[in-house]
A and B are shown apart, each in its own frame.
Chain A
Amino acid sequence: MTEPLSRDDVAHVAKLARLRLTEDELVRYTEQLGKILVHAQDLSSLDLHGVAPTAHPFGLVNVVRPDEVRASLDPAPVLAQAPDVEDGRFAVPRIVGEAP
């Protein structure tokens, strides 16, 4: 069986997930994730054509709430829980790049 994932894959995934890995961790995670994915490859070999995916165990549909206003939170204690606040807003360091 081919190696399910490479070090580059792990580095890419860590970047997507906003995690930083040391060289050691990169090696270790590549090996560990590889072992887990070897098991996952059991699934790839199954013929599941025509089987619908299940995202939910039960087929509930149309769960909605009426468009009625409920009390919002008092901003002061909410902001007090934040790491950095200015002017009633949540403060973050410089943003590099626009939102998609």
Chain B
Amino acid sequence: MKSALEIAAAVRGGQSALVAVEESLTAIRARNEELNVFLYVDEDGARAAAARIDEQVRRGEDPGLLAGVPIALKDNLCTTGIPTTCSSKILEGWKPPYNATVVDRLVAQGAISMGKTNLDEFAMGSSTENSAFGPTRNPLDPARVPGGSSGGSAAAVASNMTPVSLGSDTGGSIRQPAALCGLVGVKPTYGLVSRYGLIAFASSLDQIGPFAQSVSDAALLLEVIAGHDPLDSTSLPEPTPSLLAHVADGVAGKRIGLVRELVDGADEDVVRAVNKAVETLKDAGATIVELSIPELHLGLSAYYLIAPAEASSNLARFDGVRFGNRVDGEDVTAMMEATRTAGFGAEVKRRIMLGTYALSAGYFDAYYGQALKVRTRMIEAFATAYQQVDMIIGATTPSVAFEFGSKTNDPMAMYLNDVFTIPTNLAGEAAISVPFGTGEANLPIGVQLLGPGRSEARLFAAARVLEIADGRA
């Protein structure tokens, strides 16, 4: 499939938007049953949107930066009149009466939604095995997981069903599946992209971001969805940054920190890939500084208190009163209990209980309160590092894609998958995973580039250097 940039250029030049849409539908038909990528395919909506864009072009209007580009949306993004489930039974059949801000922005720039993709229920997971509608398979090796929680959106792009897609990243849910599926995935600076209409997992950590086959497509997509939104109080006030224009800036003169804690514990093939990436960046003119940020070790523990705590409150509204499914009970409390007990899967319940416990009287200070202080420490530690370097490099995940069921019985083993990605969410900063080399079973490896808040342009430029060296462009 062509890149988003190529499709948009062709459509703006007069090629029918239906060409890419039909190509996308063909690819979906070919493998969706096998891979379980899309929970809902909006065939009619996509064709109608393509016709509207063609009409715009005929009238001499510009349909926008993503003219006719098919896109897949993680099913925790609200879409007017289109089922939005969060891969949970509790929301099955719910059709939101409104669009997430990012969806409106995509439509305004001519993108065409092909439908909604599978995820770990309420974005809680690292393998997409926690979906109430069955797991998504990794298109590169269907015996393995695509990563998670945005596994469906990663698989959509990796299987060429769409050139780009949107996911959400709370502790690594974009970067980790991007790494496991051989894609570029971005966790933008907290507040860069509006969260309005993203069904919240952990509000102070969640960010929406792009998946793409290339750095340029990821930059283009982020540029379209970024920028201040008056509907999100935590949205950064500044206008949309220019990203695509900086992709070719290179890394000459940049100082890049190789952080021990972001490599330690990773498989050998992953470590090798990171070291090779470091050499590549050095060759391109960057100065490499070896660093240690011991505070990063605290990230996992802090994350597994903060995220469940916020989730326990965010998921309270799923009570069977106003929307979604209900299981009857003799009184309202019994009804709410029956609804939630039947509607939520095991991982969601586990995190709700963990979070409820962390916030409850007598434990708040020891757990949640302490975790928020660790967060401060983490932010300060990154700030100190960024006084010495412009960005940081490390691994995205400890290993390549793992096999189904290998970590499902041990929550802690699964959680360890996010050990390299979590610190960025806690600090509210930016990070990119870019494919670089392959490892075990010829599966892709992701290298992670981290920067301070609002450093996306810099990170895209460095990612582009790795992408070229990897022979991907």
Contacts and interface: CB of A to CB of B under 8 A. Distances in A.
User: Are any A and B Cβ atoms less than 8 Å apart in their complex?
Assistant: yes
Interface of A: 5, 9-10, 12-14, 16-20, 29, 32-33, 35-37, 39-40, 42-44, 46, 48, 51-58, 60, 63, 65, 73, 77-78, 81-84, 90, 92-96
B335 A57 contact: no
A52 B190 contact: no
B187 to A, nearest CB: 12
Interface stretch (B35-43, B152-160, B323-331): B323-331
Interface stretch (B26-34, B128-136, B298-306, B440-448): B298-306
A65 B230 contact: yes
A77 to B, nearest CB: 6
Instruction: Select the residue from B357, B379, B453 with max chain A CB neighbours within 10 A.
Output: B357
B373 interface: yes
A56 B234 contact: yes
Interface residues of B, number: 69
Instruction: Select the residue from B298, B301, B353 with max chain A CB neighbours within 10 A.
Output: B353
B337 A43 contact: no
Given A82-B321, A93-B332, A33 B377 contact: no
B357 A13 contact: yes
21 contacts: A9-B357, A10-B357, A17-B312, A18-B340, A19-B344, A29-B350, A37-B354, A39-B412, A40-B367, A43-B298, A44-B366, A51-B377, A54-B373, A57-B428, A63-B233, A78-B97, A82-B322, A83-B321, A84-B326, A94-B331, A96-B333
B104 to A, nearest CB: 15
Interface of B: 94-95, 97, 190-191, 204, 230, 233-234, 236-237, 298, 300-302, 304-305, 312, 316, 319-326, 328-338, 340-341, 344, 349-350, 352-354, 356-358, 360, 366-367, 369-377, 379, 411-412, 415, 427-429, 453
B315 to A, nearest CB: 9
A86 to B, nearest CB: 13
A91 to B, nearest CB: 9
Contacts of B350: 29, 32-33
A57 B353 contact: no
A36 to B, nearest CB: 6
B301 A53 contact: no
A55 B237 contact: no
B332 A92 contact: yes
Contact of A81 (B94, B341, B357, B374): B94
A94 B330 contact: yes
Contacts of A13: 353, 356-357, 360
A93 B337 CA distance: 13
Contacts of B322: 81-82, 90
A38 to B, nearest CB: 9
B347 to A, nearest CB: 10
A93 B322 CA distance: 13
A12 B230 CA distance: 39
Nearest to B427: A57
Contacts of A84: 326
Q: Which 9 A-B pairs have the closest CB atoms?
A: A57-B428, A53-B372, A83-B326, A48-B373, A54-B375, A51-B373, A20-B341, A63-B233, A54-B376
Given A40-B367, A48-B373, A55-B204, A20 B356 contact: no
A48 B370 CA distance: 8
